[in-house]
Amino acid sequence: MDIYESHSINKEEKELLLNYLGRDPSHTEIGIFSVMWSEHCSYKSSRHWLKKLHTEGIQVIQGPGENAGVVDIGDNQAIIFKMESHNHPSFIEPYQGAATGVGGIMRDVFTMGARPIALLNSIRFGELTHPKTKFLLSGVVAGIGGYGNCVGIPTIAGETGFDSSYNGNNLVNAMCVGLTTKDKIFYSKASGVGNPVVYVGAKTGRDGIHGATMASGEFDDESEKNRPTVQVGDPYAEKLLLEACLELMQKDAIISIQDMGAAGLTSSSVEMADKGKVGIELNLDYIPTRQQNLTAYEMMLSESQERMLMVLKPEKTEIAKEVFEKWDVDFAIVGKITETNNIVVLHNGMIEADIPIKFLTDNAPMYKREKIKKNKRNQKRQPLPSIKPKDAILKMLNSPNICSKKWIWEQYDRTIMANTLNDAGGDAGLVRIENTEKAIAMSCDVNPRYCHADAKKGAMQAVAECWRNIISMGAKPLAITNCLNFGNPEKPEIMNDFVETIEGIRDASIALDFPVVSGNVSLYNETNGDAIKNTPTIGGVGLVENIGVLDNFGSLNIGDSIYMIGKKGSHLSCSTFEEVYNGESSIDPPEIDLYQEKLNGNGVLELIQEKIITSCHDISDGGMIVTICEMIMMDEKGATINIVDNNKMIGELFGEDQSRYIITISPELESIFEKKMKKRGVKYELIGCITSSQLKINDSIIISSNEIRDAYESLIPSVMNNMA
CB atoms within 10 A of CB 131: 10
Measured in whole angstroms, how far is the alpha carbon of residue 291 from the centre of its chain?
Answer: 34
Burial call 212-241: b when 16+ CB within 10 Å, e when fewer? bbbbbbbbeeebeebeebbbbbbbebbbbb
Handedness of CA 104, 105, 111, 116 (dihedral sign): negative
Cα angle 526-530-532, degrees, rounded to a multiple of 5: 60
The answer to whether 681 and 567 have CB atoms below 8 angstroms apart is no
Beta-bridge partners for 311: 197, 256
CA 167 – CA 713 distance, rounded (Å):
23
| Residue 33 backbone phi and psi in degrees, to 5 | -60, -40
DSSP state letter for 622 = T
Q: Half-sphere exposure of 533 toward its Cβ, with a 13 Å CA cutoff? A: 26
Beta-sheet pairing, 535-544 with 330-338: unpaired
Question: Which H, E and C letters describe 256-281, residue by residue?
Answer: EEEECCCCHHHHHHHHHHHHHCCEEE
- Write the DSSP string, 348-415: TTEEEEEEEHHHHTTTS--------PPP-TT--PPPPPP--HHHHHHHHHTSTTTS--HHHHTTS--S
Cα-only R_g, the chain = 26
Among 262, 330, 225, CA closest to 100: 262
First-last CA distance in the chain: 40
Helix (H, G, I), strand (E, B) or coil at 389: helix
Catalytic residues: 40, 86
Beta-sheet pairing, 307-312 with 254-259: antiparallel
Question: Which H, E and C letters describe 652-664, residue by residue?
Answer: HHHCCCCCCEEEE
The answer to whether 108 and 84 have CB atoms below 8 angstroms apart is yes
The answer to whether 508 and 463 have CB atoms below 8 angstroms apart is yes
Which run of H or of E encompasses 498?
A: helix 492-511
The answer to whether 554 and 690 have CB atoms below 8 angstroms apart is no
CA 545 – CA 51 distance, rounded (Å):
32
CA 672 – CA 612 distance, rounded (Å):
8
Helix (H, G, I), strand (E, B) or coil at 118: strand
CB atoms within 10 A of CB 704: 12
Task: Give CA separation, 393 vs 225, 644, 657, 717, in Å.
Answer: 44, 18, 18, 20
| Residue 126 backbone phi and psi in degrees, to 5 | -70, -170
CA 414 – CA 442 distance, rounded (Å):
13
Q: Half-sphere exposure of 501 toward its Cβ, with a 13 Å CA cutoff? A: 30
CA 413 – CA 122 distance, rounded (Å):
16
Measured in whole angstroms, how far is the alpha carbon of residue 2 from the centre of its chain?
Answer: 37
94-110 vs 235-248: helix axis angle to the nearest 10? 0
Task: Give CA separation, 692 vs 393, 479, 564, 670, 696, in Å.
Answer: 20, 39, 20, 21, 11
Handedness of CA 705, 707, 712, 718 (dihedral sign): positive
